Structure 1
Amino acid sequence: MSDAMLRLSGVKKTYNAGRSNEVCVLQGVDLELRAGELVALVAPSGAGKSTLLHIAGLLDTPDTGRVEIAGTDMTGLSDRRRTIARRQDVGFVYQFHHLLPEFTALENIVLPQLANGVARGEAETRARQLLAQVGVVERASHRPSAMSGGEQQRVAFCRALANQPRLLLADEPTGNLDPGTSDQVFAALMELVRGTGLAALIATHNLQLAARMDRVVELNHGTIAARPKSD
């Protein structure tokens, strides 16, 4: 039995850019991620990497093709079942942290767990453990405005992993940080991923960071190809 956590098969996506002008963003994407694998996704600007991540993360649907997470075909599920699968099986990290400003770091990580039916005490314990793993547990009671950009993004990583997903998707998660902070934050992300055994697909323009992952794939002209890692 395959240990694939994510499998995209023949995924196509076309957008109508207005007046009979269609743009084919994805032209038959095939991609597989195994449990415990950290994969870099590189792509030229406008190539469709965000579209690909949104389809893989069940935030969008392909025109044709198949999306499987942990062996389950997600393509034809109802909106309700897709929402449940997203909450339980997928963690998403964006370039900007999108933390809820009125809540503390701890509360931002607790809330998705409460929505998933976890008891508050258990949710707070897990939130503190995650914050400790990325080195910001002392910021547990701080709101996002009182934290640095790097600290905010570490909290966002913890929130994405709060419900112990099988798949982590990240769209330029260090793209808004200076190089030194980016390196530190990425190291924290790698530690979290390695400690859980989930599959992770991370879009980045930083080829040095990409080279630290297990493999690199490139999205170009609507299809995926393996790319040699830079030294």
Structure 2
Amino acid sequence: MNDVTLRLKGLTKTYLQGTPGEVRVLRGADLELRAGEAVALVAPSGAGKSTLLHIAGLLDTPDGGSVQIAGQDMTGKSDRARTAVRRQDVGFVYQFHHLLPEFSALENVTLPQLANGVAEREAEARAMELLERVGVAARAAHRPAELSGGEQQRVAFCRALANRPSVLLADEPTGNLDPGTADQVFDALMDLVSSSGLSALIATHNLDLAARMDRVVRLEGGVLRPAA
């Protein structure tokens, strides 16, 4: 049985901008993620981590190469098809939580499920289950402004996993938190990943956190290599 949830093959991406003109961010990046695997993505600033994550998550398209998610080759797919796969099979977490400020924690985790056709009662039950798993169920009725930074990010993790994606992509998910809170929030994220059986690609500058994942890859010179 093929348990590869994300396959990036030969990705290239070039941007045109002022001087010096062409900036080649990706030069043939390859990566495979398997179910249940958490992989750290490290790179120097400006090396293209966010570009790689956006392409992997179907928010951007490469100039060359292919992206496969849950066995589906997304090369040449329509925007509608890409949106459907992104909604169902990909979860995103960013450095800032981006929760909807007018909705409670419970509602923020419920809404993506409703948009995906899940019945309200089932969506709320799933949302509460996730909030309980990361230790913020008691704050379910609170809006984001009433939550601490660590609580906000835990809710954001739950929202990303609400629709049971195959792949979680995270861009510096603890980068906006103090070290102690970052460590606690990272533990909550790893618990969600391991209990859900999905694969995770997590960009981080924190090498201590990176070392706690299953493996580390480094983006440098536009290609991905195992970290030394």
2:209 aligns to what SS in structure 1? helix
Hey, what does 1:216 align to over in structure 2? Answer: 216
Hey, what does 1:107 align to over in structure 2? Answer: 107
Q: Which runs of 5+ in 2 are unaligned?
A: none
Matched to 1:46, the amino acid is G
What is the Cα-based RMSD across aligned positions, in Å? 0.9
Q: Does 1:74 align with 2:74?
A: yes
Q: CA deviation at 1:86?
A: 0.5
Hey, what does 1:144 align to over in structure 2? Answer: 144
TM-score normalised over the length of structure 1? 0.97
Q: CA deviation at 1:213?
A: 0.2
TM-score normalised over the length of structure 2? 0.99
Matched to 1:98, the amino acid is H
Alpha-carbon separation, structure 2, partners of 1:19 and 1:222: 19
Alpha-carbon separation, structure 1, partners of 2:113 and 2:75: 25
Structure 1 stretches (4+) deviating beyond 4 angstroms?
none
List per-residue Cα deviations over 1:166-196 (Å, max 9, x = no partner). 0000000000000000000000000000001
Q: How many residues align?
A: 228
Alpha-carbon separation, structure 1, partners of 2:214 and 2:123: 31
Matched to 2:111, the amino acid is L
Alpha-carbon separation, structure 1, partners of 2:151 and 2:74: 34
Matched to 2:217, the amino acid is V
The farther-off stretch of 13-22 and 51-60 is 13-22
Q: Does 1:169 align with 2:173?
A: no
The farther-off stretch of 74-83 and 185-194 is 74-83
Alpha-carbon separation, structure 1, partners of 2:143 and 2:14: 40
Hey, what does 1:183 align to over in structure 2? Answer: 183
Alpha-carbon separation, structure 2, partners of 1:32 and 1:123: 31
Matched to 1:14, the amino acid is T
Q: Which runs of 5+ in 1 are unaligned?
A: none
Identical counterparts, % of pairs: 74
